[in-house]
Amino acid sequence: MIEVKNLVKGYAGRTVVDIERLNIRAGETIGLVGNNGAGKTTFFRMLLDLIRPDSGEILSKDINVADSSAWKDYTASYLDEGFLIDYLTPEEYFTFIGSLHGLSVAHVGDYLRQYEEFFNGEILSRGKYIRDFSKGNQNKVGIAAALMQKPELLILDEPFANLDPTTQIRLKTLIKNLSTTQRLTTFISSHDLNHVTDVCNRIILLEKGKVIKDFYTDENSLKELEAYFSE
């Protein structure tokens, strides 16, 4: 589904992404791990054509994301609160996102019912603007809005950050269910190795922009990653 070829991006003379080749099959749940500055978010932003590579290309369903917007029809993402319209209430924001995908207010309401447990009574009917919510609750809004279009490809940057343990477990369950029922292809960047190895079936480890390890998860994956990062 995704093919990366000779992808290079640098800033101020420093290379932050340098991926020679990477192939992602439909239905995979990919955990992208690495220390700060490893190039994870920069890679995501190139995947979403928010920034352009210095050289190389990213193909989504064989189409260069820099040359066509066709990939936007089946791609959803939430990287940070900058993706939100924070002067709206969650209800207003969900209604706006729904309208972009041809959903009526009633259909948006029906859609949101499946997230009642995930929201835990903290999102809807609170009489607050999105900017006044905690970072964790902003994450909930962003993730639920991203999934509204029923994407084939989902990109999440640090989705478990600022969430309480119960919500982290609910999010992992949600991602696993979507992978199983909709064959959703998902990229997840996270510093939490426990969550990544639990929810992802493939791990890609970046260091200074390069792919250092690329493997499918098993019962030893967490120990392998912990050993790498403790060196």
pLDDT digits over 216-228, tens only? 999 999 999 999 9
Domain count, the chain: 2
Residue 174 lies in a domain: yes
Residues 160 and 145 placed together within one structural domain of the fold = no
Whether residue 42 lies inside any domain: the answer is yes
3-state DSSP of the chain? CEEEEEEEEEECCEEEEEEEEEEECCCCEEEEECCCCCCHHHHHHHHCCCCCCCEEEEEECCEECCCCCHHHHCEEEECCHHHCCCCCCHHHHHHHHHHHCCCCHHHHHHHHHCCHHHHCCCCCCCCCCHHHCCHHHHHHHHHHHHHHHCCCEEEEECCCCCCCHHHHHHHHHHHHHHHHHHCCEEEEECCCHHHHHHHCCEEEEEECCEEEEEEECCCCHHHHHHHHHCC
Q: Are residues 162 and 111 in the same domain?
A: no
Clarify whether residues 161 and 223 are in a common domain.
Answer: yes
- The pTM of the full predicted model, rounded to 2 decimals, is 0.93
Q: What is the pLDDT of residues 191-222, one digit of tens each?
A: 999 999 999 999 999 999 999 999 999 999 99
Are residues 1 and 55 located together in one domain of the fold?
yes
Residue 121 is part of which domain span?
Answer: 84-150
| pLDDT attached to residue 231 | 78
On average, the pLDDT of the chain sits at 94
Q: 135 with 160, same domain?
A: no
Residue 70 counted as domain residue? yes
Q: Are residues 59 and 17 in the same domain?
A: yes
- What average pLDDT does range 71-87 have in this prediction? 93
